[in-house]
Amino acid sequence: MVTRRDIIKTAGAGAAAAVWPTALFAKPDSEARFVLVILRGAADGLSIAAPYGDGNYPGVRGELALPSPRRADGLLKLDGMFGLHPSLAGVYEEYEKKQALIVHAIASPYRERSHFDGQDVLENGGSGAGLLRDGWLNRALAPLGNSPGNEKAIAMAINTPLVLRGENSVTSWAPSQLPDAEESTIQRLQDLYADDEFFATRLMQALKSQEIASDELSMQPTRGRSRNAEQVRNMMAATARFLSADDGPRIAVLEADGWDTHQNQGTTAGSLANRLAGLDGALTALRDGLGSTWSNTVVAVVTEFGRTVHVNGTRGTDHGTATAAILLGGAVSGGRVLADWPGLAKSDLYEGRDLMPTADTRSLFKGILADHLGVPDAMLERSIFPDSAGAKQMKDLIRA
Amino acid sequence: MKEATVIATNRFGLGARPGDFDIVDRNPQAWLLDQLQGPSRTPGDIRELPHSSTVLTDVQALRREERQRKKSPDNDNPDVTSVEKYGQVARGHFMDQVAARYRTATASDYPFYERLVHFWSNHFAISADQQPLPTITGLFENEAIRPHVAGKFADMLIAAEQHPAMILFLDNQRSIGPNSQFGKRANRRNKDRTIGLNENLAREILELHTLGVNGGYTQEDVTTFAKVITGWSIGGTNENGRFAEGEQGTFEFRESFHEPGKKTILGKSYRQREVDQGEAVLRDLAVHPSTAKFLATKLARHFVADEPPAELVGKLSATYLESDGDLSVVYQALVQADEPWREIHAKYKTPHEFVVSTFRAFNRVPDDARFIVRALELMGQTTFRPGSPEGWPDTAEQWGGADGLYKRIEWCNTVARVVGSKARPVELGDAVLGPGMSMTTRKSIARAENGVQGLTLLLASPEFQRR
């Protein structure tokens, strides 16, 4: 009897051998795991890690200012300047173990305020919106021994986000509630798709993902995009499973939306606090699910841009510029906040309204790709992040 | 049979029903253009839906009831019935609207017109994520979009921006001019809390509905435009029991929220007063060259190819400007151009298009709308919930994930089981793909173990997954 496993093997073998000259590059550390979490909607960096030590903070943030670490329900103290949002208790645990760090006043090179263009730049890795049609993380797969049938990266989503789209083959997975088609139907579909590369490749990838995901994970309910805390947590648990599988992917991308807090953003409680708590629970689930693999893992949590420093007319914040990024995992050299702090006085703000960017998301990504995944510098500067000479690679993010 | 027949039916229309090809084949272009008049009456399923003002009035009353209950002294005896009642009522409206949308799309003899309704409602996308939006998003499509799809773009633009669903979705009912009567009073009274502008609607109108993101506007244009449309609100009492003026649940211009004075946008000054000022700006935006190019590109991408031919975009854009944004003139130029007819199966269907074309192939819609909602959710295109005002994407690159295809296959198999083994998949393939069906697909279906498998193979075939 032909099992689904056999079908995958046959389908993968020929295609995989033919396509990629994987031997051209130095062999990367095959044990390194990387998870990119994209918070869509522009998460408020001044709430993720609040600069309570900046004398202007309480004044400019008004009713959205978070209470100081001295208060019982206040910020979780990172250092004399910054405090982590109290909903991020799991991240704080890692911070205390020196396995998490915050990069503050960070932004992509994008300087307008459209979500869609902002996400485009964050994900395409170029210097502007629409300049590149594929994603930086896809381009970074070339030296990692990636090939059709042996995909190194997975989108934990029904639809692959831009950051993973491009020439290099990637896979995707999301839970389902429908019964599988019969083996013989799948086999016939593989024959039917043989002449059509678009369909043939995707079916092969999907079948491999089905192998790794257990039925139990597959039956979890889902929505088109992960919104509530439980869904994000379940997706993270599934991510851990994919990243732990013997011949599974080593890189995963997850998305969470609902960060566009134009109104009633809240402080230690409220809509943003709930979102952050959901994120925190998901990150903790990933850590627990990875077990000992956590020590080889880096998770980067980023968003397209930040929000206005001042509160708007509806107790929320509008689209801004610089924000905060979270880096965590056993491979992270953490326990610190990286920030060339620009200040919050009116004259310090970008266009008089936003946190001024002093760090570039591309610098962060370069540092991770180089020191964690072993991507050669020349590729980082040329093809993965073109026109990024101004965004110097961040050093020492990863534990030596 | 002409290849153009397949393109007209499956790419411009919503997919063939058995028998459709015979009618379309006489003259595919004429078949499309004749539809632009639209049906003489609004389709029955849609006519039966209540108006959004009625729905909003009802659901807001329920929400007020709930708020009152929360405030009342004996709420330590929680009575959950009002929450349950609200949920039931809201779900009922949502499902009725989904059912009407898919029934209409399946049964329509004007599938090109119906496709245009879906196209424009996605252009003016509202995501029904928060209450009360799920109760009126389908109504938005029928009230603000449907009447204008073959008319002037300016009329659709104004209808969309003034619809309560859009105002609620992009927070404009909360945007208050800092120098308006209400803004000045509130800020005098409470110095800690600033009452003021919310830029959301203004920004998305410029970026997504008219000029496009590189259309030549600045942050200052956004802020000024936000001031222009302060006061664009919804009439009647809100869920907090405030603001009584105006007719409940309909567009209301609240003078007391409106930032007074003349304003300059894109270098032009607007001296109109009250609601006229915003409408004047919208009418200018509607016929701006950037808008023409943005809309022409989206139309060409939808009807021709993911990479729309530049020459065609130029032609459609010029036609748009010459006709003052008359959409039916633009569609005519599109249908009569060469580009759409050069390649069959040029587009990968979105899950929505795939589901609708499947329903049409069987001439059958599930009785229970929950089945439709779940299917689309599973394939990544939850009905009325694109998640952002940008709407759903329109390229194979964005829909072509491995998991997305696998979910489609699972659904094909599920549908095939429901439809049953009596189906004749080869005949059905001929009836809905015509000369578009490849020999490989034909053979594969013919050799299937049984009818259910044959149907699965037909629906999952590359030809049926494309349009």
* pLDDT (0 to 100) of residue B191: 63
Residue A12 has pLDDT above 80, yes or no: no
Report B:135-174 residues touching A (Cβ under 8 A): 171, 174
pLDDT tens digits, one per residue of B28-58 = 999 999 999 888 889 999 999 999 999 999 9
Q: Does residue A395 lie within any of the structural domains?
A: no
Confidence of residue A9 (pLDDT cuts 50, 70, 90): very low
All residues of chain B having their beta carbon less than 8 Å from the beta carbon of residue A157 are 380, 401, 403
Task: Compute the radius of gyration of chain A from its Cα atoms.
Answer: 21
User: Which residues on chain B are in Cβ contact (under 8 Å) with A315?
Assistant: 193
User: Is the pLDDT assigned to residue B113 strictly greater than 50?
Assistant: yes
What is the distance between the alpha carbons of residues B262 and A221, in angstroms, rounded to a whole number? 52
Which among B170, B264, B179, B256 has a CA at the least distance from the CA of B223?
A: B264
Angle CA(A85)–CA(B388)–CA(B286) in degrees, nearest 5? Answer: 135
Split into its structural domains, chain A has a count of 1
Contact A176 B407 (CB under 8 A): yes
* Per-residue pLDDT at A226: 42
Is the pLDDT assigned to residue B64 strictly greater than 90? Answer: no
Tell me the pLDDT of chain A averaged across its residues: 88
pLDDT for A180: 79
What range does the domain containing A118 cover?
Answer: 4-384
Give the pLDDT of residue A220.
56
Using DSSP's 3-state secondary structure scheme, residue A314 falls into coil
CA distance A47 to B3: 58
pLDDT tens across B143-168, in order? 999 999 999 999 999 999 999 999 99
Rg (CA), chain B: 24
Looking at the complex, does the CB of residue B200 fall below 8 Å from at least one CB of chain A? yes
Establish if A253 belongs to a structural domain. Answer: yes
Which two three-digit tokens encode residue B374? 């779940």
pLDDT > 60? residue A11: no
Predicted confidence (pLDDT) per residue in A125-159, tens digit = 999 887 888 999 999 999 998 988 889 999 998 88
CATH number at residue A314: 3.40.720
Q: What angle do CA B226, B230, B235 make, to 5 degrees?
A: 140
Residue with tokens 């990243």: A243
- Quick: pLDDT tens for B366-395: 989 999 999 999 899 999 999 889 999 999
As given in the structure block, the two tokens for residue A304 are 């397209």
pLDDT at B237: 74
The structural domains of chain B, with segments of one domain joined by +, span: 3-16+346-465, 44-151, 152-304+307-344
How far is B22 from B221, CA to CA, in rounded Å?
A: 53
Question: What percent of chain A stands above pLDDT 70?
Answer: 89
* Average predicted confidence (pLDDT) for chain B: 92
At residue A2, the pLDDT reads: 43
Whether residue B446 has pLDDT greater than 70: yes
Burial of B143 (0-12, 13-18, 19+ CB in 10 A): buried
Q: Which helix or strand (DSSP H or E) is residue A209 part of?
A: helix A197-212
A400 inside domain: no
Cβ separation B171–A263 shorter than 8 A: yes
| Chain B residues lying within 8 Å of A310, measured CB to CB | 194
Cα A310 to Cα A57, A293, A351, B55, B63: the distances in Å are 10, 41, 13, 36, 31
Q: How many CA atoms lie within 13 A of B98 on its CB side?
A: 28
| Range with the poorest average pLDDT among A72-81, B77-86, B258-267, B303-312 | B77-86
Residues A220, A172: Cα–Cα separation, whole Å = 16
> Up-side HSE of residue B152: CA atoms within 13 Å toward CB?
14
Domain assignment present for residue A396? The answer is no
How many angstroms separate the CA atoms of B241 and B65, rounded? 10
* H helices present in B36-78, as ranges: 44-47, 52-71
Query: Taking Cα atoms as reference points, which of A244, A240, A232 lies closest to residue A282?
Result: A232
pLDDT at A116: 83
**CA-based angle B296:B297:B302, to the nearest 5?**
100
Q: How far apart are CA A145 and CA A23, in angstroms?
A: 8
CA triplet B2, B4, B7: central angle to 5 degrees? Answer: 130
pLDDT digits (tens, 9 = 90+) for A322-365: 999 999 999 999 999 999 999 999 999 999 999 999 999 999 99
Put simply, whether A113 touches B (Cβ < 8 Å) is yes
Give A 139-168 residues with CB within 8 A of chain B: 155, 157-160, 165
Global confidence as pTM:
0.81
Quote ipTM for the complex: 0.92
